[in-house]
A and B are shown apart, each in its own frame.
Chain A
Amino acid sequence: MEINKGEKLKNGSEKLFDKFRERLALNGATALICANRSDIAAHIADIAAREKKDGGRPVFHLSAHLASSSASSIETAIGSIEGAYITKSILDDNGIYIVPASALLIEDGALAVDSALCAHEETLFGDICVLIADGAEIYNNIIDFFAAISAGKSSIKAHNITIIAGPSKTADIEKQIVTGMHGPKKLYCMVINY
């Protein structure tokens, strides 16, 4: 499927999404597509259930720059999970961080985060990082992405780019992959597509 560079994801782009999901999985992360509000609620509940350990209460941190419609869906979803709560403060080392992703790089199975919209700590701290691609720019690959940046066609400034492809990981002890080395253990990407 041809992509108009930087175009937003729209209906009929399922094939593209399949490839993205497959590539993100190769990078050790999970892509979830949300076609409506109840999908968001289901995925959030699912992620919270994974995080909840031994009766602990799932803690969510919502980034200030999430798109307003998806933010309100997410808040509602969290509200309906038993014991879950939302905090504005940056917590060290636990919690589920929900932050906006500004671009999707399909072939690389990666996302670009704009540090003008998201503090670095928000994608570094916490056990789980959930990137919300709501109205994100879409590119075939990193090459098209940087071409758009350097031509000034993207809304992201070069020096604000962090490209994230998978959770924090290491293989420094006997090549065994361990996630959550210095950053999150798990990475999810929710593509809001409605």
Chain B
Amino acid sequence: MALFLKDKNIININKNAKKALADKTLQANLKKATAEAVFKRNQAAAVSETFESSRDIAIAAREASISMLRKLSDEFVENCVKNNIKCFVFDDYESANAKITDLIKERGADFIVKSKSMLTEEIELNRHLKLNGIEAIETDLGEFIVSLAGEKPSHLTAPALHKSRREVARLFSEKLDMPYSEDPAQLSYFARRYLRDKFMSARVGLTGANFAVSDSGLIAVIENEANARLAINLPQTHIAVFGVEKIIRNLNDLPHFLNLLSKSATGQLLNAYTSIIGPPAEGKERFFIIVTKRRFEIAADPVFKEALRCIRCGACQNICPVFQRLSGHGYEFCYGGPIGTVLAPFFIGYQKCAELIDASTLCGFCKSICPMKINLPALILQHRFHYGADKKIKKPLFKHLKKLFSYLHSLIMSNNVLSRVIQPFARLYFKITAAVFGRNYIPRWSVFSKRDFIGMAPKTFMESYFTKNKKKSREKEGDKNGN
């Protein structure tokens, strides 16, 4: 049994939380943005005639597509070829990145215009392109800001959620030599002008896809800014990169997903633009790069296949009490929040996720808000079971201590004698801490000036109730004897 105290490989949630909590701007932004997002989502869902029915239909549709993902993927590629779209399917990130790089280089481009795509974050495309001398220009305003700052997106649908207007103003004036302004409208206009030139001169536009329709060889891209439409339609070449789980069966399934995504993500009835992308226009070309990494494996897992239902709306993040404070960056994985916690062990391994999988109160609000009704807390719990049971995972000391605590709790508290014997010792412990610290102290629980502990009752309910009742019955017996 290998014990180790600190492992730099383990995502340190406590450390990240400390850092995030200390950043008051971040906390204020997160609080406002997440509450507003949930509010708007509820409003949109309440207005809609079809939201609830679409949930059930979309879940059934997704279950069906997950169960035949390989077949659908082959069929999708076949239909794309018929549509004059060239498709490439890769299981590993390296090959996908290499292919995209080659396609761009072959077209003599040294930069591309890019719209928001979580998959490119997952495969770290931008870093790879940079190594090959190609600049990836992010054109979604949030992504643009984040990339200027050299950071990573902190939310699925609001990547610059953690940035204040002041920070953006400073960034634009320093890096782009734009006049200093803290007005979001002015800042957006600067970005529009700067990026429009890039759109007009770009040879290659790269986007993600929200859904891919198998029977017709099409993808759907949704957005609000119109940057994806520009990236798709202005350059000569369009490349779309997406995970194989985005493939759904047919056009009848599609609107239910669109219905859910816009409302759950941003509380809109529909996003400003929904583009259905098929055969390239005359003289233009289109490529789909499909990444299958780990997806087939997850699809085959009887429990975790549920995670592939995710449509990346970010609602679970908005409602999560941990995400609301930790922010996306604290997860150190491209997908944050409850769904990120569920996906992370598959993509970065259990060892790294030792703390992450425990960082949930299992409150279950994510399960209720998820448009696809993914039982996120149950899946997080399932990771804890797997982590605990798998002897091959190298575990840090704190995990062994946790297990020891759980074991001792079980050993003592499930024993009628021991659980009673320990009571006076526990009370004595609190008497001592009260004398020493002036309050009830529990290591790891007590947070100075923020949380004490209410302490134990002088007698447990069971003790007091049954001594009382004993007395009563004795008195009764006494009465009888007296008679």
B472 contacts the other chain (CB 8 A): no
* Other-chain residue from A108, A160, A163, A181 in contact with B192 (beta carbon distance below 8 A): A181
A182–B199 alpha-carbon span in the complex (Å) = 10
Report the contact-size class of chain A (Cβ under 8 Å from the partner): 35 or more
A171–B276 alpha-carbon span in the complex (Å) = 24
B277 contacts the other chain (CB 8 A): yes
Contact B141 A172, beta carbon cutoff 8 Å: yes
Instruction: Evaluate whether A26 and B47 lie within 8 angstroms (CB atoms) in the complex, with A124-B230, A158-B251, A183-B229 already known.
Output: yes
Encoded as 1 (CB less than 8 Å from any A CB) or 0, chain B from 252 to 286 comes to 10111011000000101111111111110000000
Contact B276 A143, beta carbon cutoff 8 Å: no
> Which of A6-14, A50-58, A60-68, A145-153 lies at the interface?
A145-153
> Which of B124-132, B181-189, B319-327, B408-416 lies at the interface?
B181-189
A88 contacts the other chain (CB 8 A): no
B197 — nearest CB in chain A belongs to which residue?
A92
Residues of B within 8 A of A163 (CB): 270, 273-274
A142–B50 alpha-carbon span in the complex (Å) = 10
Shortest distance from the beta carbon of B138 to any chain A beta carbon, whole Å:
11
Encoded as 1 (CB less than 8 Å from any B CB) or 0, chain A from 141 to 169 comes to 11101110110000000111111111111
Instruction: Evaluate whether A170 and B48 lie within 8 angstroms (CB atoms) in the complex, with A93-B196, A108-B269, A164-B272 already known.
Output: no
Most buried by A among B254, B255, B271, B274: B255
Shortest distance from the beta carbon of A39 to any chain B beta carbon, whole Å:
26
A46 contacts the other chain (CB 8 A): no
Instruction: Evaluate whether A161 and B272 lie within 8 angstroms (CB atoms) in the complex, with A92-B196, A182-B139 already known.
Output: no
Contact A150 B250, beta carbon cutoff 8 Å: yes
* Other-chain residue from B168, B266, B268, B273 in contact with A164 (beta carbon distance below 8 A): B273
Instruction: Evaluate whether A107 and B50 lie within 8 angstroms (CB atoms) in the complex, with A93-B196, A142-B259 already known.
Output: yes
Residues of A within 8 A of B189 (CB): 180
* Other-chain residue from B33, B47, B270, B276 in contact with A161 (beta carbon distance below 8 A): B276
Shortest distance from the beta carbon of A58 to any chain B beta carbon, whole Å:
20
A82 contacts the other chain (CB 8 A): no
Encoded as 1 (CB less than 8 Å from any B CB) or 0, chain A from 14 to 48 comes to 00000000010011000000000000000000000
Residues of B within 8 A of A95 (CB): none
B173 contacts the other chain (CB 8 A): no
B165 contacts the other chain (CB 8 A): yes
A174 contacts the other chain (CB 8 A): yes
Shortest distance from the beta carbon of A186 to any chain B beta carbon, whole Å:
12
Shortest distance from the beta carbon of B282 to any chain A beta carbon, whole Å:
12
Shortest distance from the beta carbon of A68 to any chain B beta carbon, whole Å:
26
* Other-chain residue from B227, B255, B273 in contact with A146 (beta carbon distance below 8 A): B255
A69 contacts the other chain (CB 8 A): no
Instruction: Evaluate whether A170 and B230 lie within 8 angstroms (CB atoms) in the complex, with A110-B270, A158-B216, A175-B33 already known.
Output: no
B29 contacts the other chain (CB 8 A): yes
Most buried by B among A105, A108, A145: A108
A173 contacts the other chain (CB 8 A): yes
Contact B158 A171, beta carbon cutoff 8 Å: yes
A181–B225 alpha-carbon span in the complex (Å) = 5
B298 contacts the other chain (CB 8 A): no
A109 contacts the other chain (CB 8 A): yes
A178 contacts the other chain (CB 8 A): yes
Contact A120 B233, beta carbon cutoff 8 Å: yes
Instruction: Evaluate whether A143 and B278 lie within 8 angstroms (CB atoms) in the complex, with A174-B164, A175-B36 already known.
Output: no
* Other-chain residue from A105, A173, A175 in contact with B168 (beta carbon distance below 8 A): A173
Instruction: Evaluate whether A173 and B255 lie within 8 angstroms (CB atoms) in the complex, with A143-B54, A181-B192 already known.
Output: no
Contact B255 A145, beta carbon cutoff 8 Å: yes
Instruction: Evaluate whether A178 and B185 lie within 8 angstroms (CB atoms) in the complex, with A158-B276, A172-B160 already known.
Output: yes
Report the contact-size class of chain B (Cβ under 8 Å from the partner): 35 or more
A159–B49 alpha-carbon span in the complex (Å) = 27
* Other-chain residue from B160, B164, B226 in contact with A182 (beta carbon distance below 8 A): B226
Residues of A within 8 A of B184 (CB): 173-174, 176, 178
Instruction: Evaluate whether A172 and B252 lie within 8 angstroms (CB atoms) in the complex, with A165-B270, A180-B192 already known.
Output: no
A147–B191 alpha-carbon span in the complex (Å) = 39
Give residues 218-263 of B contacting A (CB, 8 Å). Answer: 218, 224-227, 229-230, 233, 250-252, 254-256, 258-259
Shortest distance from the beta carbon of B437 to any chain A beta carbon, whole Å:
42
B195 — nearest CB in chain A belongs to which residue?
A182
Instruction: Evaluate whether A168 and B233 lie within 8 angstroms (CB atoms) in the complex, with A158-B218, A159-B276, A181-B141 already known.
Output: no
Contact A181 B48, beta carbon cutoff 8 Å: no
Residues of A within 8 A of B159 (CB): 172
Contact B269 A182, beta carbon cutoff 8 Å: no
Contact A183 B226, beta carbon cutoff 8 Å: yes
Contact A162 B225, beta carbon cutoff 8 Å: no
Contact A162 B274, beta carbon cutoff 8 Å: yes
B140 contacts the other chain (CB 8 A): yes
Contact A173 B141, beta carbon cutoff 8 Å: yes
B382 contacts the other chain (CB 8 A): no
A146–B191 alpha-carbon span in the complex (Å) = 35
B101 contacts the other chain (CB 8 A): no
Encoded as 1 (CB less than 8 Å from any A CB) or 0, chain B from 25 to 65 comes to 00001001100100000000001111000100000000000
Shortest distance from the beta carbon of A166 to any chain B beta carbon, whole Å:
5
Most buried by A among B160, B164, B192, B200: B192
Residues of B within 8 A of A147 (CB): 252
Contact A170 B187, beta carbon cutoff 8 Å: no
Residues of B within 8 A of A105 (CB): 270
Listed A/B pairs (16) with beta-carbon separation below 8 Å: A27-B270, A92-B196, A124-B233, A143-B259, A149-B251, A158-B216, A163-B270, A164-B273, A170-B141, A173-B165, A173-B184, A174-B29, A174-B164, A175-B33, A182-B192, A182-B225
Top 3 nearest A-B pairs (CB, nearest first) are: A159-B278, A183-B226, A172-B142
Beyond A145-B255, A161-B275, A165-B268, 11 additional contacts (C-beta under 8 Å) are A27-B268, A107-B50, A141-B259, A146-B255, A164-B273, A165-B273, A172-B159, A173-B184, A175-B32, A175-B33, A183-B225
